[in-house]
């Protein structure tokens, strides 16, 4: 308004706005890196410019299993229809070559001992129906083969063999698609976020994994990999550099007993890629931690694999998972509504390297946490005490019968003293 009325020159207004903009820190959003593994376990990878497409036909069964359901059903239907039509054409040619299609043969059959190759096959439609009856072994009884034509017997044997092969391949493909291992992985769940907290005096990277089914995963094992973009000393850029990190497991076989949700822990030590990363540096890191759970399905014996990943924004520093397993009436109960819930705990904000070099940082952090906890308890107790006093005073004001009456005492000297009892 002032600038419009020319009370303040426009040059001064523009200079002031420019100065304020310079003082304000400009925070630019860091470009988000594409995930290598999605949260549901799907690989975020596209294959392009594949020249040797014929390699997929060399393993035709795996190609059929990997196809989508609509493509598989189309191939399933067309394979049977094409085989029926092909052999229907062959049966029609056999009947035509033998002369069974000639209308004059019908009267000849009644007068003489004329025998056709296939009875009641006088058109392509009847040949198609006979082809279906042979391959599916229906056998209605109206059309049947005779021993007149050896070529027809050869076609019958060939169609039976081809039909068995098509049945075996197509039914095996449908069975493998319905019993694929990743279907069982749908009930293996991971926490949406991972945490970094102190456990047994060490900084640890932790996440929770669980199984929703009662049927167990046998010989289940967990692997963790860090995927990041690195550059070698020679200048070579590796866009997807994978580094295995160990998992803290007291069992020597490195298998887990996944009967209830477990917290998988990775101790951040000198072998860990997270050894030099602090809480402030974690936000700036372009890394992705991939979690792979493998095991054998108890009911089918098929090996299954469940995957997920955690990027820097999904790792909470100074948090811990809440307990979800309780004992109720002699049975251990799992509350899956709190599966991914966390609580904030005391944890040093420095890196694991700094914590190893200066162990006093952990002691100071725990002492500060204890003092803050005690102060919060004192404040809570004082607030409760004040609330109780206020409540009692308000009750006395509202209820006059609770007020103590004043009693006067007369001394022998005749003086009076008032006191409250």
Query: pLDDT at position 308, please?
Result: 92
Residues near 72 by Cβ (< 8 Å), separated by ≥ 6? Answer: 64, 173, 174, 177
pLDDT value at 23 more than 50: no
Q: Count other C-beta atoms under 10 Å from residue 334's C-beta.
A: 15
Global model pTM greater than 0.85: no
Q: DSSP of 307-369, one letter per residue?
A: EEEEEGGGEEETEEEPP-EEEETTEEEE-GGGTT-EEE----SS-HHHHHH-THHHHHHHHHH
Query: pLDDT at position 195, please?
Result: 93
Query: pLDDT at position 310, please?
Result: 93
What value, to the nearest 5°, has the Cα angle with vertex 318 and ends 313 and 323? Answer: 100
Query: pLDDT at position 123, please?
Result: 86
| Confidence band for 27, pLDDT divided at 50, 70 and 90 | very low
pLDDT value at 112 more than 70: no
Evaluate whether 318 touches 346 at the Cβ level (below 8 Å).
yes
In whole angstroms, how far apart are CA 375 and each of 216, 343, 346, 416? 47, 19, 15, 49
In this prediction, residues 83-89 reach a mean pLDDT of 93
The Cα–Cα gap between 194 and 208 comes to 8
Evaluate whether 315 touches 207 at the Cβ level (below 8 Å).
no
The Cα–Cα gap between 91 and 145 comes to 11
| Confidence band for 399, pLDDT divided at 50, 70 and 90 | low
Give the chain's mean pLDDT: 79
The residue written with tokens 């063999």 in the block is: 161
Query: pLDDT at position 24, please?
Result: 46
In this prediction, residues 305-318 reach a mean pLDDT of 90
Most confident of 26-40, 96-110, 332-346: 332-346
pLDDT value at 146 more than 70: yes
pLDDT tens string 251-301:
556 688 888 899 999 999 888 888 888 888 888 888 889 999 999 888 888
Q: DSSP of 266-299, one letter per residue?
A: EE-STTSTTTT--HHHHTT--EEEEEEEEEEETT
Most confident of 197-201, 205-209, 369-373: 205-209
Helix (H) or strand (E) holding 240: strand 237-245
Query: pLDDT at position 13, please?
Result: 46
Query: pLDDT at position 74, please?
Result: 92
Most confident of 58-62, 107-111, 176-180, 317-321: 317-321
Residues near 303 by Cβ (< 8 Å), separated by ≥ 6? Answer: 181, 294, 295, 296, 297
Query: pLDDT at position 215, please?
Result: 84
More confident residue, 104 or 410: 104
Helix (H, G, I), strand (E, B) or coil at 219: strand
CA 363 to chain centre: 38
More confident residue, 77 or 383: 77
């Amino acid at each position: 308004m002032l600038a419009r009325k020319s009370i303040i020159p426009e040059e001064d207004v523009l200079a002031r706005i420019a100065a304020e903009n310079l003082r304000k820190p400009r925070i630019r959003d860091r470009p988000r890196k594409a995930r290598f593994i999605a949260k549901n376990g799907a690989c975020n990878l596209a294959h392009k410019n594949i020249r040797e497409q014929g390699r997929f036909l060399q393993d035709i069964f795996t190609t059929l299993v990997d196809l989508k359901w609509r493509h598989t059903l189309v191939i399933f239907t067309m394979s049977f229809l094409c085989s029926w039509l092909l052999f229907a054409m062959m049966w029609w040619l056999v009947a035509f070559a033998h002369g069974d299609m000639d209308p004059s043969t019908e009267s000849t059959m009644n007068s003489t001992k004329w025998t056709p190759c296939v009875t009641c096959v006088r058109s392509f439609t009847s040949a198609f129906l006979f082809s279906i009856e042979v391959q599916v072994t229906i056998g209605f009884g109206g059309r049947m083969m005779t021993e007149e034509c050896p070529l027809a017997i050869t076609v019958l044997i060939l169609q039976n063999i081809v039909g068995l092969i098509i049945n075996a391949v197509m039914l095996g493909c449908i069975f493998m698609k319905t019993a694929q291992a990743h279907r069982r992985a749908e009930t293996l769940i991971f926490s949406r976020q991972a945490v970094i907290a102190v456990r047994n005096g060490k900084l640890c990277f932790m996440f929770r994994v669980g199984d929703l089914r009662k049927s167990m995963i046998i010989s289940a094992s967990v692997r963790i990999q860090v995927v990041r973009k690195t550059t070698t000393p020679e200048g070579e850029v590796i866009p997807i550099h994978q580094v295995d990190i160990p998992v803290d497991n007291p069992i020597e076989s490195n298998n887990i007993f996944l009967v209830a949700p477990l917290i998988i822990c990775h101790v951040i030590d000198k072998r860990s890629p997270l050894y030099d990363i602090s809480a402030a540096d974690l936000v700036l890191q372009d890394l992705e931690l991939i979690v792979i759970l493998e095991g054998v399905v108890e009911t089918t014996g098929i090996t299954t694999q469940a995957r997920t990943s955690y990027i820097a924004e999904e790792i909470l520093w100074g948090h811990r998972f809440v307990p979800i397993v309780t004992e109720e009436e002699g049975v251990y109960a799992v509350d899956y509504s709190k599966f991914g819930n966390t609580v904030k705990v005391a944890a040093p904000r420095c890196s694991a390297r700094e914590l190893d070099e200066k162990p006093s940082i952990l002691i100071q952090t725990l002492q500060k946490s204890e003092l803050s906890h005690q102060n919060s308890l004192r404040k809570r107790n004082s607030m409760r005490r004040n609330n109780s006093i206020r409540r009692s005073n308000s009750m006395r004001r509202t209820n006059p019968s609770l007020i103590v009456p004043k009693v006067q005492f007369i001394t022998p000297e005749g003086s009076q003293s008032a006191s409250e009892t």
